[in-house]
Amino acid sequence: WGNYLVSRADVIGTTPAEKIAVFEEALGHYQTGLKHASFTRETGQLHFQRGKCLVTMAEHETDPHRNREHYRQAISAFTEVAAIPTRANSTDLNSLWGVTLIKLGQLDRNPSQYREAIQRLTVALEKEPADPSYNYNIACAYARLRNAERAMHYLRICFERSEEHTSELQSQ
């Protein structure tokens, strides 16, 4: 039910406050699910979905303090998922975790969050090297760290991968 609410929040709620209320309801469903989950796989999936919901909620939030808190809670949920060995190195987890760290780093102006984002995104990149988005996000993190050389390196790779991906799609 939580996943349904998150996917339909833009339809159910028309104002930012209504959408936030929908996300809060979804979070309640994830919490209830976590209380009743009996398998590690279920628990990991619920924590991941809870984290995704919190990230989406932060993106709709207008209050910077609540925005920051939602990102922190999402990172906490992702940490729970990473404690499950079969999920720790998944691309979806590390990609979203890395992007969330970049967003929180922007709010906190904290370079260590950018460095951790690079680590998380690198895990995703190692699993799916053809995906240009990981290179792009790593480039963004390096740019925030004012490391133009590394940022340009990953940006070049991103453009190369984007061109390769576009060529593959056109040949199909």
What is the per-residue pLDDT across 81-136, written as a single tens digit (0 to 9) for each?
A: 999 888 878 999 999 999 999 999 999 999 999 999 999 999 999 999 989 999 99
pTM: 0.87
Give the confidence band of 167 by pLDDT, cuts at 50, 70, 90: low
The residue ranking higher by pLDDT, 44 or 102, is: 102
Residue 31 pLDDT more than 60? yes
Query: Hey, is 45 helix, strand or coil?
Result: helix
Tell me what percent of the chain is helix, strand and coil, each rounded to the nearest 5: 85, 0, 15
Q: Could you give the angle at the alpha carbon of 8 between the alpha carbons of 35 and 28, nearest 5°?
A: 20
Question: With contact defined as beta carbons under 8 Å apart, do 154 and 136 qualify?
Answer: yes
| Per-residue pLDDT at 169 | 41
Q: What percent of the chain has pLDDT over 70?
A: 95
Whether the CB-CB separation of 46 and 34 falls below 8 Å is answered with: yes
- DSSP assignment letter at 129: T
C-beta separation of 48 from 92 below 8 A = yes
17 has pLDDT over 90: no
Mean pLDDT of the chain: 90
Over residues 32-61, the mean pLDDT reads: 90
Q: What string of DSSP letters covers 51-90? A: HHHHHHHHHH---HHHHHHHHHHHHHHHHHHHTSTTTTT-
- Residue 171 is predicted with a pLDDT of 45
Q: Using the 8-state DSSP alphabet, how is residue 146 labeled? A: T
* Token representation of residue 17: 């406050």
